[in-house]
Amino acid sequence: MTLFEKIIAREIPAKIAHEDEHCIAIHDIQPQAPVHILVIPKKAIPRINEASLTDQTLLGHLLLTAANLAGQLNLAAGYRIVINNGPHGGESVPHLHVHLLGGRQLNWPPG
């Protein structure tokens, strides 16, 4: 069971920003920006490369949830949505999740 599955099951506490039947959004414990929210599907998909065509609606829901949270968190000046895939992509938990980052000027390139 991944860290995120334990959070979803309430075995590990987290600061929840949003929850619905498809996902949970939590504040990152090591934020990389003033706003750093993780939008996590309740369905365990290890990474974006392992998502299937049946996951299209869920993936869209994750992105729209991140955008809605950005609106609620006053990120009108801009924000970044990131999905890491694999160790070289910065993946630290093998459970697909969307990072919502904002609240300051974000540099490019990010790495």
* DSSP bridge pairs for 63: none
Q: Are 31 and 96 in contact (CB under 8 A)?
A: no
Backbone angles phi, psi at 98, to 5 degrees: -110, 125
Q: What is the share, in percent, of the chain residues with pLDDT greater than 90?
A: 95
Is residue 69's pLDDT more than 90? yes
**pLDDT value of position 111:** 66
Q: Give residue-wise pLDDT tens across range 15-61.
A: 999 999 999 999 999 999 999 999 999 999 999 999 999 999 999 99
Q: Is 40 exposed, middle or buried (0-12, 13-18, 19+ CB in 10 A)?
A: buried
Q: Check residue 22 and report its DSSP letter.
A: S
Structure tokens at 11: 């075995």
* pTM of the model as a whole: 0.95
Strand 35-41 and strand 23-27: the pairing is: antiparallel
> Which CATH code, of 3.30.428.10, 1.20.1280.290, 3.40.50.720, 3.40.50.150, is assigned to 3-102?
3.30.428.10
Is residue 84's pLDDT more than 90? yes
| pLDDT band with cut points at 50, 70 and 90 for residue 110 | confident
Average pLDDT, the chain: 96
Q: What value does the mean pLDDT take over residues 64-88?
A: 96
**pLDDT value of position 109:** 86
Domain ranges of the chain: 3-102
Residues with active-site annotation:
97
